[in-house]
Structure 1
Amino acid sequence: MPIAQANRPAAESELHIALASCRAALIAIAMFSGLINLLSLTGSLFMLEVYDRVLPSRSVPTLVGLSVIAAMLFVFQGILELTRGRMLLRIGNQIDWRVSDRVYDLVTRLPLRTRGGGDGLQPVRDLDTIRSVLSGAGLPALFDLPWLPIYLVICFAFHPLIGGAVLGGALVLVILTLLTDRLSRSSVQRASIHAAARNRLAEASRRNAEALAAMGMSARLLARWRELGDAYRRQQKIAGDISGGFGVVGRMLRMMLQSAVLAVGAYLVIHQEASGGIIIASSILTGRALAPVDLAIANWRSFVAARQSWRRLEKLLAAIPAPATQVPLPAPSRTLLAEKLSVTAPESEKPLATDINFVLKAGSALGIIGASGSGKSSLVRALVGAWPPLRGVVRLDGAALEQWSSETLGNHIGYLPQDVELFEGTIAENIARFVPNPPMEMVLAAANAAGIHQLIVGLPEGYNTQIGEQGARLSAGQRQRVALARALYADPFLVVLDEPNSNLDAEGEEALTRAILAVRVRGGIVVIVAHRSSALAAVDFVMTMANGRQQTFGPKDEVLSMLTRREPPPAGPFKVVPQTAAST
C-alpha cells in the first residue's frame, strides 16, 4: 500500500498494542497517583491541626504526635512518587523495546517505498521523543490533574468563598493550557520539519565532504544550512516564547491565587466565619491543587512534540506493515524467470523498465548492457526483490519472490549494488553479512571466490581489520571486492552484480571473471550489469536495453555479433535471438 494512501492508521495500531501491554502498570500508576494526591493533603491538615488545636491548647505531646504522623506520611508519599517515576521510566523503555525492531524495519524499508523528501532517521527520533516524554517529569502532572476536583471540593468545604477563588484560578489556568496547545502546535510542527531538513543536509554534506571541498561548494551549502537553522530557531523561539510565556503567567497567577486565598481566609477570620488554621491550610491546598496545571503548561511543548511523533510513527507503521509469515519453500536450484516485468521507482508511476521477459537455467550467466538510464539498475533491483514489480513477476523455481520472507530470500541471493555500502565492523563480519559466529571456512571460501584472500591477510589484522564507517579505511576497489565476497558468501543460487568492475583493476577483473565462472560451475545463476565488455567474459547470455525496454536477448556471441554488425534496432519492443545454448 503506498504511503500516500495510508491516511489514517488501523484501529488497533502497533503503538496502541505496545501501550496496552503496559495497562497493568498504568493502572498501578493511576492508583499510586491517587494515594499521592491524598497524602498531599498532609501538609494542609497538619497546619490546620497546629493552628486550631495545638496552639490554643499549648499541648506539646499533641504537637509531637502530629509531627511524627506527618513525617511518616511524607516519607510514604516520597516512596510512592519515587516508585511512580521509576514505573513511568520502565513503561517508556517497554514501549521502546516492543517497537524498536519495527522502527529499524521502517528505517531499512522506507527507502524502498519512498524516494527522498524525508528524514530517513525520523522514525528513530520519533520513538526517542515518545519514550522521553513517557519517562519525563511532565507526565505525572497528567495523572494528578483528575484530582483537581477533589481539592476544589475540600476548598468549598472550608468555605464557599475559598472554593470559588480556587475554582476561578483553576479555570484561568485551564484556559492558559488550551491556548498554549492551540498557539504552539503549528510552530512545533514547522520546527520539526526544518530540523529534519537540516539533518538531511548535514548527513549529505558529511557523506560528500570530498566533493564539497574539491568543488568549492562548502560555502554555498553553509548558506543553505544557515537558512534552515534560522528557520528552525525561529519556529523554536515562537514555540518556546508561547510555552514559556504562558508558563510564567501560570506560575504568577498561581502565586497570586495563593495570596488571594490567604486574603479571603483572613477576611473570613475577621468576620469569624473561619478559623486561623483554615487560612494556612487553604493556601497550601491551593498551591498543591494547581501545581499539576502549572507543570502541564511548562511541559506542553514536549507533549505536543510527542503527540506529533506518535501520529507520524503510527502512520508509518500502518503504511509499512510487518512482513507476513511465509510458508517455507525449498531452496531454489533450477530457474530464474522474469515474466512481463515492469519496474518503477518507489512512489512513482513512470516505468523505468517495461515488459522484460527472459528465462535463465541453473549454470547460466546473463550480461545486461545498454546506455545510462536504460533501466538496467532498476531491473536488477526488481530481480533481487528490493523493488516490487509494477506489473509482471520474478520467479525462482516457479515461485514469485513475494512467497519468500526477506530474510529467507536473502540467503539465496547475492547482490552487489552499483553504490557499494559496507558497514562499520570487521572485514569478516561484512563478508559474513553479520551472521553471528559464522563458520570461518565459509568466510574464507567467499574471500577466495572473490580473489581477495591475499589482500585481506596482508592487512595488519587480517580478517579482524576494522574497516570504519562505510568502509572508509579501504580503497574503492577494496570495498568493491569485499562487497563481491559478501555477495558470494554461503554460495547463493542467484548472484546479481550491478557494474561490479567499475573500480577494479586488471587483477580484480580477472578475479571477477573467475568468480562468475565458479558460480556457474556449482549450478548458480549470475546476472551482471556492465558498461565494459571485459565484465562479459564469463557470461553466456546477453540482454540489451534501451529506453527502459528489452531490445535483444540471446546467446552472447550472437547478440554481440549482431551489435557489431550495427544492425538496425528491432521494430518490436525486443527481439529474442534463438537460444541454441539455453540448456548450458
Structure 2
Amino acid sequence: MSRSHENNLQVALKACKGSFLSVGFFSLFVNALMLAPTFYMIQVSGRVVPSSSTSTLIMLTLILTIMMLTLGSLEWVRSRIMVRVSNRLDVLLSRDVYRASFKKALSTGGMDASAQSLNDLTSLRQFLTGNGLFAFFDAPWLPIYTAVMFLFHPWFGWMTVGSAVVLVVLAYFNHRYTGKALTEANQQSVRATLQTTKNLRNAEVIESMGMLDTLMARWAIYQRRVLVLQSQASDKGGIITSISKTFRTWAQSIMLALGAYLVITHEINPGLLMAGSLLLGRALSPIDQMIGSWKGFVAARVQYGRLNDTLEKLNAEPQRMALPDPEGHIQVENLVIAPPGAKAAVIRNMSFVTPAGSIVGIVGPSAAGKSTLARALLGIWPPQHGTVRLDGADIAAWDKQKLGPHLGYLPQDIELFEGTISDNVARFGKVDPEKVVLAARVAGVHEMILQLPDGYDTVIGSEGINLSGGQRQRIGLARAIYGSPRLIVLDEPNSNLDDVGEKALAVALQKIKETGATVFIISHRPSILSRLDRIMVMSAGTITMYGARDQVIAELAQQQAKAQQRVAPTAPAASAATDVASVQPGA
C-alpha cells in the first residue's frame, strides 16, 4: 500500500515502527537472559555440587543476580516504551478520530452520534500497554528454546516440539470457537451502549410519558444477547484455557520424568533434569499466555478494524485558496437534497437568488423541506445535485474553519454547551467582552443575562444552572449573530418566546438588517413577517412562490379568498401560508 493510500491510523502505526522494533530488540535480550536460570542450574549441579566449591557457587550466584537485575530492567524499559507508544498514538490520532466521529455523526444526521471511536482508541491503547501483547514478542523465541532443548538431548527437543504443537492447536481452536462470538458480542455491546446514550439524552421525555420500562426492556434484549455471546465464548475459551494450563503443567512433569529416566540411564547429567523442565515451561509460556489473553486480542482487533474503517472514510479536505470575506449573496441552482441515510429527495430542483442584505422568510407546511433547505444553505448537508453558492463560490468550496465566523445558525433544537454563557455566545473561541455584550444586546438578552447568578460568567450545563427554553433560544440567537456574520439562518427562532421575546426578536432583526447581513428565517408566526424583505413559500420540497414581501402576501391573500369561495382550498400555497396571507401588505 502506497503512502498516498494510507489512512491516519496506518501512518501513525508506521511512525511508531521504530518503537516496536525497539521493543523487539529488548525482547531479544529479555528472552536470552531467560536462559540464565537454566544454565545456572546446570552449572550448580555439574560444577558446584561435585567440587563442593563455595567460591564458584558465590560467583555463579552473583552473575545470576546481575543478569536477573538486568532482565528486570529490560522488561521495565520495554513496558515503558509501549506506554510511550500508546501515548504517542493518542497524540497522533485523537484529533483525527474526534474529527472522523464528528463527520460520521454529521453525515448520518446525528443518528450515529457516539464517542465509540474514541473509546476504541482508548481500549486499543490499553491493550498495547498490557502484558498480553508481550507474548507476541516472546513467541518467536520458541524455535530458539527448542534448539537449546535439542542440545540438551534429542528427546527433550522432540518433547518441546510435541508440546508446542499441542498448544498451537489449542490456540487455533480457541480462535475458531470464540473469535466469532466475541466479535458479535462486541458489536451488540456497542449497539446497546449507543441506545443507552440516546435514552439518557432524552430522560425527561422518557420519564414524563412513562416509557422507561419499555425502553429498558428493549435495552435488555441487546444486553441479554451480549451476555449470551460472551458466556458462550467464555465457556469455550475457559475450557481451552484450562486444558492449556493443565497440559503445560503436565508436560513439565513429564519432562521431569523423562529427565529422570535419562539420568538413570546416564545419558544426561542431573543438572539437566530440572533445567529441561524449567526451560520447557519458559518455551511454552508465550503460547499459553496468548491463549489466556485471546479475548483481549480479539477485542483489540475489532477495535482496530472499526478505527481503520472510520479513518478510511475521513477524507482530508484539500488546501483551498483563501477567499475574500463573504458579503452574503446567495444563489441556489437546481438543488436536490436528501437527508443523510435517506434515498428520497426532500428538496427537488430548487433554484433562487437572494441579494446580500436581504431578510427572507421561509414558510410552508410541515415536511415541506424548510429545515433541510436551512442546512443546505449552510453547507451542512451536501446536495445530491445542484449547487448552493455564497458570493458566487460553491459553499462546499469554502474553508469551513475560515467561513464559520461569517455564518450564524439557530437550529430548532437549541443546544448550549457546558461552559459559561460568555463562552457559548463567543462560540468557545477567545471571548471578546465587547462583541459578546454587543451580540447579547442585539439579541435582546443582555438584561436577562445580567439577572442570572453570575451574569455572563454563569455556568450552564451539568455543573451549572438549567435555562428555560426561551432563555436558551435567546442566548442561541446571540451566539448566531456573534461577530456580525454575513449569512444567518434562523430556524423557528420564536418557537419558545413569549410576547416580550417576540418583540425583542423583531428589534434584533431590524438591527441585524442594519449590518447588511443576509438572513433566512423559518417561522410559522405571522408577527415576524413585517420585518421581512422577501417571502419564500415552500410545499413538498419545491418553491411555490418567492418574491418581495408585499407582492407575495397580496398574491397569497387572493389565493385564500378564492379558496374560501370554493370552501375547500385547492392551491397548496394557500393552505401552507394562511397566516402569511393574514398580514396586510406594507404592515
Q: TM-score, normalised by structure 1?
A: 0.93
Q: Which runs of 5+ in 1 are unaligned?
A: 1-8, 572-584
| Residue-by-residue CA offset, 1:345-379 (whole Å, 9 max, x unaligned) | 11322111112211111220111001110100011
Select between 341-350 and 97-106 the one with higher mean Cα deviation. 341-350
Q: Secondary structure at the match of 1:394?
A: strand
Which residue of 432, 452, 455 maps to 2:445? 452
Tell whether the 8 Å contact from 2:101 to 2:113 is kept in structure 1 after alignment.
no
Which residue of 8, 12, 27 maps to 1:14? 8
- Is residue 500 of structure 1 aligned with residue 493 of structure 2? yes
- Is residue 564 of structure 1 aligned with residue 557 of structure 2? yes
Q: Secondary structure at the match of 1:489?
A: coil
| Residue-by-residue CA offset, 1:265-284 (whole Å, 9 max, x unaligned) | 11111111111110111111
Which residue of 298, 305, 308 maps to 2:299? 305
Label 1:495 to 1:470 Cα distance change in 2 as closer, same or farther (>3 A). Answer: farther
Match of 2:534 in 1: 541
Separation in 2 of the partners of 1:344 and 1:471?
38
Which residue of 513, 523, 529 maps to 2:522? 529
Q: How far did residue 304 of structure 1 move?
A: 0.9
| Residue-by-residue CA offset, 1:66-95 (whole Å, 9 max, x unaligned) | 000000000000000001111111111111
Separation in 1 of the partners of 2:485 and 2:186?
43
| Residue-by-residue CA offset, 1:208-262 (whole Å, 9 max, x unaligned) | 2222222111111121222221111111212222333322221111111111111
Match of 1:215 in 2: 209
Match of 2:34 in 1: 40
Q: Secondary structure at the match of 1:239?
A: helix
Q: How far did residue 342 of structure 1 move?
A: 1.2
Which residue of 399, 404, 418 maps to 1:405? 399
Label 1:201 to 1:490 Cα distance change in 2 as closer, same or farther (>3 A). Answer: same
Tell whether the 8 Å contact from 1:545 to 1:551 is kept in structure 2 after alignment.
yes
Q: Which amino acid aligns with 1:28?
A: S
Q: How far did residue 470 of structure 1 move?
A: 11
Q: CA RMSD in A?
A: 1.8
The total of aligned residue pairs comes to 563
Q: Secondary structure at the match of 2:460?
A: coil
Separation in 2 of the partners of 1:115 and 1:385?
13
| Residue-by-residue CA offset, 1:450-509 (whole Å, 9 max, x unaligned) | 111111111111111110149861111111111111101111100001111111111111
Q: Which amino acid aligns with 1:565?
A: Q
Select between 210-219 and 496-505 the one with higher mean Cα deviation. 210-219
Match of 1:580 in 2: none
Separation in 2 of the partners of 1:427 and 1:392?
39
- Is residue 423 of structure 1 aligned with residue 449 of structure 2? no
Separation in 2 of the partners of 1:106 and 1:74?
46
**Correspondence 1:214-253 to 2 at 5 A:** 214-253=208-247
Separation in 2 of the partners of 1:225 and 1:501?
36
Q: Which runs of 5+ in 2 are unaligned?
A: 561-569, 574-587
> Identity of paired residues, percent?
41
- Is residue 111 of structure 1 aligned with residue 105 of structure 2? yes
Select between 109-118 and 245-254 the one with higher mean Cα deviation. 109-118
Separation in 2 of the partners of 1:116 and 1:462?
32
Tell whether the 8 Å contact from 2:360 to 2:532 is kept in structure 1 after alignment.
yes
Separation in 2 of the partners of 1:223 and 1:313?
30
Q: How far did residue 329 of structure 1 move?
A: 0.7
Separation in 1 of the partners of 2:314 and 2:505?
37
Q: How far did residue 119 of structure 1 move?
A: 6.2
Match of 1:171 in 2: 165
Q: How far did residue 116 of structure 1 move?
A: 6.6
Match of 1:432 in 2: 426
**Correspondence 1:91-490 to 2 at 5 A:** 91-115=85-109, 118=112, 120-435=114-429, 437-469=430-462, 473-490=466-483
Q: Which amino acid aligns with 2:543?
A: Q
Separation in 2 of the partners of 1:357 and 1:294?
68
Tell whether the 8 Å contact from 2:336 to 2:346 is kept in structure 1 after alignment.
yes
Label 1:365 to 1:470 Cα distance change in 2 as closer, same or farther (>3 A). Answer: farther
Select between 57-66 and 238-247 the one with higher mean Cα deviation. 238-247
Q: Which amino acid aligns with 2:262?
A: L
Tell whether the 8 Å contact from 1:10 to 1:318 is kept in structure 2 after alignment.
no
Label 1:247 to 1:115 Cα distance change in 2 as closer, same or farther (>3 A). Answer: farther
Q: How far did residue 303 of structure 1 move?
A: 0.9
Tell whether the 8 Å contact from 2:105 to 2:113 is kept in structure 1 after alignment.
no
Tell whether the 8 Å contact from 2:104 to 2:112 is kept in structure 1 after alignment.
no
Label 1:168 to 1:114 Cα distance change in 2 as closer, same or farther (>3 A). Answer: same
Q: How far did residue 11 of structure 1 move?
A: 4.5
Separation in 2 of the partners of 1:30 and 1:485?
57
- Is residue 67 of structure 1 aligned with residue 51 of structure 2? no
Tell whether the 8 Å contact from 1:375 to 1:547 is kept in structure 2 after alignment.
yes
Match of 2:546 in 1: 553
Tell whether the 8 Å contact from 2:8 to 2:96 is kept in structure 1 after alignment.
no
Which residue of 45, 51, 61 maps to 2:45? 51
Q: TM-score, normalised by structure 2?
A: 0.93
Q: How far did residue 314 of structure 1 move?
A: 1.0
Q: Secondary structure at the match of 2:346?
A: strand
Select between 269-278 and 247-256 the one with higher mean Cα deviation. 247-256
Select between 232-241 and 281-290 the one with higher mean Cα deviation. 232-241
Q: How far did residue 334 of structure 1 move?
A: 4.7
Separation in 1 of the partners of 2:332 and 2:535?
15
Q: How far did residue 115 of structure 1 move?
A: 5.0
Separation in 1 of the partners of 2:353 and 2:167?
72
